[in-house]
Each structure stands twice: as C-alpha cells, then as structure tokens.
C-alpha cells in the first residue's frame, strides 16, 4: 500500500482504469466502484443516475486521498 504513485494503491488504480465492454459509462457498470472528478473521489451509487458518495479515504486501505 504505497502512495508514491498517482493512486494510493493498485486496487483503486485498477478500478479507476478499468473499462467495460458492456457499459461505456462507468456509472452504468456495476463493476465500477470509484469515480474521480474535480471534486475528489466518490463511491458510485448504482441507482441509474450519476450520483456518488464523496470519500476522503481509500476504501481498501484507509489511505488519505488527495484530490
Ligand atoms: Zn488505496
Ligand atoms: Zn460493465
């Protein structure tokens, strides 16, 4: 769980970088967990919309997330 890269860990990185052949929009893909925007990181809520719960710490390792 290192912080020297752009992302706090490979779990977060792989989630943000994953692409899905079925869902072009990450908000439509149940496999997409995290959204990164200019407001920071958020956990995607799969309610058919594009809402997310903003988070300040990595869900996997608890590392503080920079915006
Ligand atoms: Zn992490
Ligand atoms: Zn998908």
Spell out the SS3 assignment of the chain. CCCCCCCCCHHHHHHHHCCCCCCCCHHHCCCCCEEEECCEEEEECCCCCCCEEEECECCCCCCECCC
Q: How far is the CA of 12 from the centre of ligand 2 (A)?
A: 17
CA of 28 to the centre of ligand 2 (A): 7
Q: Tell how far the Cα of 27 is from the centroid of ligand 2, in angstroms.
A: 9
User: pLDDT digit of tens for each residue in the chain (67 aa)?
Assistant: 444 457 889 999 999 999 999 999 999 999 999 999 998 999 999 999 999 999 999 999 999 998 6
pTM: 0.82
Cα(3) to ligand 1 centroid in Å equals 8
């Amino acid at each position: 769980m290192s912080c020297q890269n752009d992302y706090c860990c490979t779990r977060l990185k792989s989630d943000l970088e994953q692409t899905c052949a079925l869902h072009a929009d990450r908000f439509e893909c149940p496999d997409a967990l995290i959204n990164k925007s200019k407001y920071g990181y958020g956990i995607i809520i799969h309610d058919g919309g594009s809402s997310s719960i903003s988070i300040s710490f990595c869900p996997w390792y608890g590392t503080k997330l920079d915006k």
